[in-house]
């Protein structure tokens, strides 16, 4: 059997299939841009909120201050009940470092009417749904809201 240019051409069905696949991908991209079928994440109303400055003081430990008064609310330690505070902020502070944001800018801790607790970075706008990490970890941030009156 001799090899010719006709023998090396891809089968016609493969070319048609590739064209249909490309058209389907292009169509899906257009639909995605039009927000057809896009998932919406609506938030329930805010019940309670607090602006906090959270500074890492070592691996696993942090100091939490009321952003309005500057009062120390809590000092957390690694392996203790509040260690998750450092973990959550450590992840968010990475985004701050990438954009050159101040590490001592406040975070907004918000409890919603549906019981969800979120921590939002005022520098990057990143938001963490704290309930995703389990009840003991949520409790660490609950304690920061509970100390609200004591800091005034």
Residue 3 resides in a domain = no
pLDDT value for 65: 94
pLDDT value for 152: 41
Residue that is written with structure tokens 């000092």 in the block:
75
pLDDT tens digits, one per residue of 31-49: 665 555 555 567 789 999 9
Residue 31 resides in a domain = no
Residue 38 resides in a domain = no
CB atoms within 10 A of CB 6: 6
DSSP symbols for 85-144: HHHHHHHHHHHHHHHT--TTS-EEEEEETTS-EEEEETTT--EEEGGGG-HHHHHHHHHH
pLDDT value for 70: 93
- Give the range of the structural domain holding residue 63, as residue numbers without chain letter: 46-146
Q: How many domains does the chain have?
A: 1
3-state secondary structure of 55: strand
* pTM, 2 dp: 0.67
pLDDT value for 48: 92
Which residues in the chain show pLDDT less than 50? Answer: 150-152
Residue 93 resides in a domain = yes
pLDDT value for 147: 65
């Amino acid at each position: 059997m001799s090899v010719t240019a006709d023998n090396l051409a891809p089968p016609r069905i493969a070319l048609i299939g590739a064209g249909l696949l490309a058209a389907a991908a292009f169509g899906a991209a257009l639909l995605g841009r039009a927000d057809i079928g896009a998932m919406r994440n609506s938030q329930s109303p805010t019940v309670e909120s607090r602006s906090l400055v959270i500074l890492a003081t070592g691996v696993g430990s942090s100091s939490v201050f009321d952003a309005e008064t500057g009062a120390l609310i809590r000092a957390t330690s690694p392996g203790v009940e509040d260690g998750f505070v450092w973990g959550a902020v450590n992840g968010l502070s990475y985004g701050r470092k990438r954009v050159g944001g101040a590490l001592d800018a406040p975070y907004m801790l918000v409890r919603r009417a549906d019981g969800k607790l979120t921590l939002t970075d005022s520098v990057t706008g990143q938001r963490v749904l704290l309930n995703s990490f389990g009840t003991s970890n949520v409790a660490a941030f609950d304690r920061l809201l509970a100390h609200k009156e004591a800091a005034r």
